[in-house]
Amino acid sequence: MRQLRSARLALRRVTRNFTASSPGLSQTVEHLRHPLNTGEVFLVGTSHISEASAKEVHDIIHTVRPRHVVVELCEARRRRLEASTHTSNALTCSVLPGAGQLPKNFAQIVEAFYAMLRSAGFDPGVDMLSGLRAGKEVGAVLHCGDVDAKVTSARMDAELRALGADHMQVLAKLMRPTLQREVSELFPDAELDIQALMQGDKQYVKVLRKAVEGMKDRAKVRKLGSVMSDIAPGFTNALLHVRDAHLAKLLRSAPFDQATTVCVVGMAHMDGIARRYTDAKWQEEPWKPPKVTSGQSFPLPQSLDAMTAGVEPAIQRKPQID
């Protein structure tokens, strides 16, 4: 117990440069206690693929020295990240290699918003590898806790087809003055320019992504998730909420329910995991495929398609790394 208190004090020093979002910790770290057992989780959120985030992950794991380290990767994505010599480029590529059966202008918008979501920590990157390396250094048991990438890809494909079939309604949502105001509040230096998005203005997309990358504010990340849920609820559910539920369920089960664990996730996943993990009555709701009536279809997002090509069928649960 004394050792754990010392670790918590040291953890406050590690995170002292961030605004507190939970008592004594920070915007990017939250301490969770299992609602029914003796386990505890230090939830670490990363907002972008950066040296600063990787260092914070490393320092927290070395401070807490947990029994387990869980990262927001599946085995397939871990292998691909470790094997890639151009990881940062691979993780920030275009969402759609071609418009497929989507209207071109709508495809440009989907591509831009997905790039923003990745930058805000809605999808895992090399920060997760930093967590695995640090965990190995302190002798922790390492686990890949995310939904299998092939499963996520299939869900996103289904949701994107549904989104494409209803693209006029999505465009109408994007044009609402209330959305314009919400985006302006999130990014004061980057106004929402729908015309630039529809024209595929790469410079404008870079401006948006730069604004998102600077977010170390959970309230803003939470707001971005809310905006995306309003615009494209099914897509956001497949990308965010069902994965939050998967990780929360994993962390509440053995062996994590009776041990100290550090779990490294994108910042966008922190609220969803924390809320589910600490609710003693919470039960997972399975993902349900959307209904698509138009028969429209288009390619998978390139970033996911490239990572899952040739991946073996998903194993229901085998998160531990040998």
Confidence label for 307 from pLDDT (cuts 50, 70 and 90): very low
Residue 11 has pLDDT above 70, yes or no: no
Query: What predicted TM-score, i.e. pTM, was given to this entire model?
Result: 0.76
Does 301 sit behind a cis peptide bond, omega within 30 degrees of 0 on the bond before it?
A: no
- Residue 271 makes CB contacts below 8 A (sequence gap 6+) with 218, 222, 225
Would you give the DSSP letter of residue 300? P
Evaluate whether 106 touches 51 at the Cβ level (below 8 Å).
no
CB-CB neighbours of 146 under 10 Å: 27
Digit-coded pLDDT (tens) for 123-174: 666 788 899 999 999 999 999 999 998 898 888 888 877 877 777 777 788 7
CB 61 within 8 A of CB 140: yes
Picking from 214, 212, 210, 265, the residue whose alpha carbon sits closest to that of residue 70 is 265
Residue 304, CA atoms < 13 Å, CB-side half-sphere: 28
Residue 109 has a CB neighbour count (10 Å cut-off) of 20
Strand segments, DSSP code E, in 47-167 are 68-71, 141-144
Q: Which band of pLDDT confidence, cut at 50, 70 and 90, is reported for residue 263?
A: very high
Find the angle CA(44)-CA(316)-CA(82) to the nearest 5 degrees: 50
CA–centroid distance for 60 within its chain: 19
Cβ contacts of residue 60 below 8 Å, gap of 6+?
A: 11, 14, 15, 29, 42, 44, 262
Sequence ranges of the domains in the chain: 2-278+299-306
Question: Under a CB-based contact definition with an 8 Å cutoff, are residues 121 and 221 in contact?
Answer: yes
**200 alpha-carbon distance from chain centroid:** 24
**Which tokens in the block code for residue 78?**
């871990």
pLDDT confidence of residue 259: 97
